[in-house]
Structure 1
Amino acid sequence: MQRVAFKMKLKPGFKEEYQKRHAAIWPELKQLLQAAGISDYAIFLDEETNTLFAVQKLSGQSSQDLGNLAIVQKWWAYMADIMDTNPDNSPVTTPLQEVFYLP
């Protein structure tokens, strides 16, 4: 099991909307993430900087690029108005290196 962490940027004033949309995550997107081996997925917000910190566990050797799938692209478009995004609507993400872990 591999842990992956990354950060994203929320536009100011959209904390509640971000939470609302994720509380109602589409069942087909949730199923896709689970089928891809993603579990224990959490996103935290630093309200001082509007930085979102995400961490997830990955199982298996899934090399599938989920960003090429229509449901993921639809979710990105749905979230694009409240987050910093790339031209294809994918969230601007910065991978984070693990520097400490206490099991």
Structure 2
Amino acid sequence: MKDPIDSRRLLAFYTLAQVNSFTEAGRLLGRTQSAISHAILGLERELGTRLFRRHRIRSTLTEAGEQLLAHAVRILAHMQQAREEIRASSGGRLPPGRVERARFRPDGS
């Protein structure tokens, strides 16, 4: 199995598909327009196809983009559901634990 699609790229793709603007997608995600553009280009390279038709003001989905959007909606919903279920079962807190410290010895041992 090949590496899975990066979740940050998938979220950038989903957000761009919703708002049709690289600048607005970046604003919503707290990222730059350039970061969104790089995420989409990386995703397109990874999948070997264009996902958006880039126009001067707006971007629209290609047929491949429409297909990926259907998957992205389900994947992101599952990720959100998993996050909520895990947080609910743990009370939203990290359990107490030990933090191991590295020991530095001048002699290198």
* TM-score computed with the length of structure 1 as normaliser: 0.29
Q: Which has the higher helix share?
A: 2
> RCO (CA 8 Å, sep 6+): is it higher in 1 or 2?
1
Q: Which has the higher strand share?
A: 1
* TM-score computed with the length of structure 2 as normaliser: 0.27
Higher-Rg member (1/2): 2
